[in-house]
Structure 1
Amino acid sequence: MAYQEKIKFRLFGHLLPKTPPHAVQRKSVNLTDDLYTYQLNLSRFQEEFPALQSYNCTLLIDKEDFCHSANMKALFILSIKSHPASFSQRAALRKTWATEKEISKYLMKPLFLIATSPNQKQMNLVADEDKEFKDILLWDFMESHHNLSLKERCFLRWLFHNCQKAEFIFKGDDDGFVNPDALVKHVRETANASDIIHGAVQAHAIVMRTEKYRVSKTLYPHQYYPRFLSGGGFIFPGKHIPALYAASMRLPVFPLDDVYFGFLCLAASLTFRNDQKFYVWGMEDKICLYKEALFVHGISMDKLLQVWQDFQEKKC
């Protein structure tokens, strides 16, 4: 099914309509950090990735009252990028760290960020899944590697319109371990935690011209990217939602989601904090390290369940 075609998935037995387009003033920009200047030419992005620039963020499953239910508690959203087919991953996460829980003054609430699949059976199961757990945002664009950038852009739009009261948002992949207690401890003990973006910082990474992360010289002629956080998992404060959303309405949408978020942060003049407890390339298999870790990327679901059991039973 082509990306531009109207998605005809029937969720809960109803065809959900398209929402009207929203005003976007996307344009070419030049962004500068302490080392380089980066040119993002809108016409080139429109030529190579037109759908990324024009998509209107249509939700098939929404959560308009998600943040209101927190009442007077400080909300810490655990947002997780997931594919419709990843039922076992989501099930494992719900049995471990992706559960609603109050820690100190924070209410931790999970929210899965999902796009569509051409497999109607998968989509029906996603609808049933949300009916039971009520923890899914579903957009009508198709899941793909490049469309992960749409999850960045559309989630920022959703936050801006529905959840600016959130104090912190963790955003990560569904193949990871998260320690909610460590996240809360981290933001409580880090100076100026609500002013900075937290994660594993990639400092001026070299642009790849081949294979999965390929970006053409026509689209992006520069040799380096600005600083960005590994997309596996990071934290950003809710106070920065308006600035990030404004940048997402103005900048061309880059086809690599973590690099795209880096450009948004640069445009919004936001500061990164690198922390080695975001293990984005795996970690030594020791339970005491898991107890201190904020995030561990690339962990199987069987391993996650075992770690979580050990996590509850063993002391360090």
Structure 2
Amino acid sequence: MLLDVPDKCGGADESAQVFLLLVIKSIPDNFERREVLRKTWATERLHNGVQIRRIFISGMTGSGFERERQNRLLELEQNEYNDILQWDFRDTFYNLTLKQVLFLEWMERNCPKARFLLNGDDDVFANTDNMVEYLQGLRDNDGSKHLFTGHVLKKLGPIRSPGSKYYVPVQVQESNSYPLYCGGGGFLLSGYSAMVIYNMSSAAELHVDLPEVLMEVAEE
């Protein structure tokens, strides 16, 4: 691991104090996006008496001098904001699932009792105040039961066109349909569901092309 924030949630034992953990997928070059989010919906704060915390998760891009430059800039950014997790893998579309699983591993170690998570991209806007109020209004679920909610996508399957960014060959995914899943731009889940998915992910095939599909497969 290249960049870590082990105390982001106050330590594993105190992590239940984090009501909503914002887990935002990013890449090293997207500094401006991260800056906007830090100043808007991803600001770390108290809302309705509960804590909102923020983490950006990233791999590496570029090569040679460019990679070194990006990583150095990311280190400087980390020194200022202390909100980036970075791993030593090539951050590509096909490694998004790896990024998701590595985050869940980090969560299990450093933030296992966080109540709820918003898992999303760095190019979306979200009303996190409303999310907190929605989650506080749930009956009989303080994060210790299953919750997985977002934009449900139905009757979709792998793209078979080799020219597509989303191409998935039959050797990787035999079935022509995916289970119901929430779009990866942003979805809410409970800390309990996140840990169940992490524990089940070892039994799922990591070459599932969309991380949000893996989340559903692992939960089934």
Structure 1 length normalisation: TM-score? 0.63
Equivalent residue number for residue 228 of structure 1: 181
Alignment map for 1:1-316 (pairs within 5 Å): 59-68=1-10, 73-117=17-61, 118=63, 119-191=67-139, 193=141, 194=143, 195-210=146-161, 211-253=164-206, 254-266=208-220
Does the Cα contact within 8 Å between 1:67 and 1:165 map onto a contact in 2?
Answer: no
> Quick one: which amino acid aligns to residue 7 of structure 2?
D
Unmatched 5+ stretches in structure 2:
none
Shift of the alpha carbon at 1:72? 6.7
Distance in 2, Cα, partners of 1:136 & 1:71: 17
Once the two structures are TM-superposed, the CA of residue 161 in structure 1 deviates from its matched residue by 1.3
Equivalent position amino acid for 1:255 in 2: D
Cα distance in 1 for partners of 2:157, 2:5 equals 38
1:175 Cα shift? 0.3
CA distance in 2: counterparts of 1:157 and 1:242, whole angstroms: 9
Indicate how the Cα distance of structure 1 residues 226 and 128 shifts in structure 2: closer, same or farther if over 3 A, else same.
same
Instruction: Report percent identity of matched pairs.
Output: 32
| CA-CA distance at 1:192 after TM superposition | 5.0
Cα-Cα RMSD:
1.7
What residue identity is the alignment partner of 2:176? Q
Find the aligned partners of 2:17 and 2:121 in 1 and give their Cα distance.
26
Matched position secondary structure for 2:53 = strand
CA contact (8 A) 2:78 2:84 kept: yes
Post-superposition CA distance 1:209-258 (Å, at most 9, x none): 12111111222221210111100000110122331111112211112222
Amino acid at match of 1:150: L
> Partner amino acid for 1:264?
A
- CA deviation profile, 1:255-278 (whole Å, cap 9, x unmatched): 222222221222xxxxxxxxxxxx
Number of corresponding residues: 208
Q: Which moved more, 1:135-144 or 1:234-243?
A: 234-243
Q: Which residue of 2 aligns with 1:8?
A: none
Compute the TM-score of the two structures, normalised by the length of structure 2.
0.88
Cα offset, 1:63, TM superposition: 1.4
Over 3 Å counting, the alpha-carbon distance change for 1:234 and 1:166 in structure 2 is same
Deviations 1:57-89 (A, max 9, x none): xx1111111112667734310110001000110
Change (3 A) 1:181 1:89: same
Does the aligned pair in 1 maintain the 2:15–2:113 contact within 8 Å?
no
Shift of 1:146: 0.5
CA distance in 2, matches of 1:113, 1:64: 13
TM-aligned CA deviation for residue 191 of structure 1: 3.9
| 1:41 matched residue in structure 2 | none
